[in-house]
A and B are shown apart, each in its own frame.
Chain A
Amino acid sequence: MSARERRLDVSGLEPCEPLERTLAAAGELVPGEFLRVLHRREPFPLYPMLEQLGCAWRCQPGSTTSFEVLIWRGDDPVAAAAAADA
């Protein structure tokens, strides 16, 4: 199965919309999918919420925004491998 990327740009949104939209999108991930969230700040309060949802994540410097957060389901090795290369 090949992995698919979903992209979500929250860099122009006011709190709490970035958290809200990211959580909603993370909750909709299907097997083989990972989420790339474009963010202007590192969203520390998001991480424990992702943990609660059973998701894993990695934050890295972004190309068009300051940060990109890659999010995948914790029980999805295909998405995890794809996110590791993203």
Chain B
Amino acid sequence: MSYPGLALEQAPPVSAPFRFFLTAPLFGLAAVVLLLWLGPGLLQSRWTPGLLALTHLLTLGVLAMAMFGALLQMLPVVAGAPVARPLAIATVVHVLLVAGTAALALGFVMPSSFLLRAAALLLAAAVMVLVAAAAHSLARAPRRHAAVHGMILAILALTVAVGLGLWLLVGHGWSGVALQRGVATDLHAGWALLGWIGILVCGVAFQVVPMFQMTPEYPEWLTRHLNRLIFAALMLWTLALAWPAAAQLGVLAAVVLVLGYAAFAVVTLDLQRRRKRRLPDVTLSFWRLGMGCLLATLLFWVVTRATPGWLADPRTGLLLGAGLIVGFALSVINGMLYKIVPFLVWFHLQNRLLHSGLLGTGVKVPHMKRVLPDAVSRRQFRAHAGAVILLPLALLWPDPLLYPFALVLGVSFLLLARNLWAASLLYRRESLRLAAPAEND
């Protein structure tokens, strides 16, 4: 018996997603270096070149880097459709994303319109290749469940967010083209954070939270409707911002977005509370922190709407962005890496064991818990949680709290890099052992 559209050969080689995962914390460290170098002056407004560079080192260099890797890995497994030539696609997208993100950050900081123009072309190419590969895979997906719908909508949102980002970049990098700030920046950030990142996190959570955290399944009313509602609300919001006569639609869109994401966070926390196995699990801690930050950011946004003084304060936008990027998205994605990476190491080693005919001979592959032990991951969680707690304080009182925040965040990214590289080296070592068991045993 065989299952159509799913075979081990279809899973991309482990190096395809790993290159993205191993690079992500390095961009996090680059963001920390920038923060330490530019200091509190970085936070004078949301438009300082240093802050634009820092934001994109985190959103493109860390978050999108990890999400692109996970997407290439999960498309065949979750959607049941392979990505054509996965290693070539991964190599091209990775090189373009690394070069594009570095050019963008340097282009803002130096400043250099040449680098910004290069970044526009490199990032557009990276996203086009990824979107084309994903669309090719998803079009042939035999399974169309909530995670697949989530991936499709998230990729559409990514396309909109990057399109808006490129439009903004044209204003920065090409003379004679007016820079469209304000509305275009809000739309770019909204589609990136609440569309691309938020929808992908929800869609993937519907599959992986019950599977990896041993919780009950998400209720059907949420899995069927949430991602479509969020996407529709983003379209309404875009219409309201672009066409003043439809401004009232913006209120409706905001209500749907706040209630939708709040429902997702509350249901996730409730499912985790009712999980079947009550063993310590660092991913659970990351997710709880992420959901808590999501709820706190939504609540803060509602309060700012009702408090005119806060709405006008430039720090409000910084706090909202920081809550979503570092508090919510970075926590959740960092936490997922502690499941995805050990699972991939185990899965590919198990494959090697089967292919070499060693199953049942006493040769074993390391268990997931041995690939990344909980104690090691927990140290990084403590550093990350410390950074998340310090972040709002650093934004409100940058002098002197920005430096301790940057140092704690730096420790967190260093530990994450060390843990992921250790898992990668363990994979390499075990692969060699399985390739030559007689010499080693």
**A interface list, Cβ under 8 A from B:** 12, 14-17, 19-20, 23-24, 27-28, 41, 44-45, 47-49, 51-53, 56-58
Contacts and interface: CB of A to CB of B under 8 A. Distances in A.
Contact of B360 (A16, A20, A28, A45): A28
A17 B277 CA distance: 13
A44 B368 contact: no
B185 interface: no
B6 A49 contact: no
Going nearest first, the 10 A-B pairs with the smallest beta carbon separation are A27-B360, A48-B8, A52-B354, A16-B346, A48-B7, A47-B3, A27-B359, A16-B368, A56-B1, A44-B6
Contacts of B359: 23-24, 27, 53
Contact of B212 (A15, A19, A52, A58): A15
Contacts of A20: 350, 367
Interface string B336-369: 0001000100110011001100011000000110
B399 to A, nearest CB: 46
Nearest to B6: A44
Chain B residues touching A, range: 20 to 34
B128 to A, nearest CB: 30
Interface of B: 1-3, 6-9, 77, 80, 210-212, 214, 276-277, 279, 339, 343, 346-347, 350-351, 354-355, 359-360, 367-368
Contacts of B7: 48, 51
25 contacts: A12-B276, A14-B279, A14-B368, A15-B212, A15-B339, A16-B343, A16-B346, A16-B350, A19-B350, A23-B350, A23-B354, A23-B359, A24-B360, A27-B359, A41-B210, A44-B6, A47-B2, A47-B6, A48-B7, A48-B8, A49-B351, A49-B354, A51-B7, A52-B8, A56-B1
Nearest to B351: A49
Given A12-B276, A16-B368, A44 B3 contact: yes
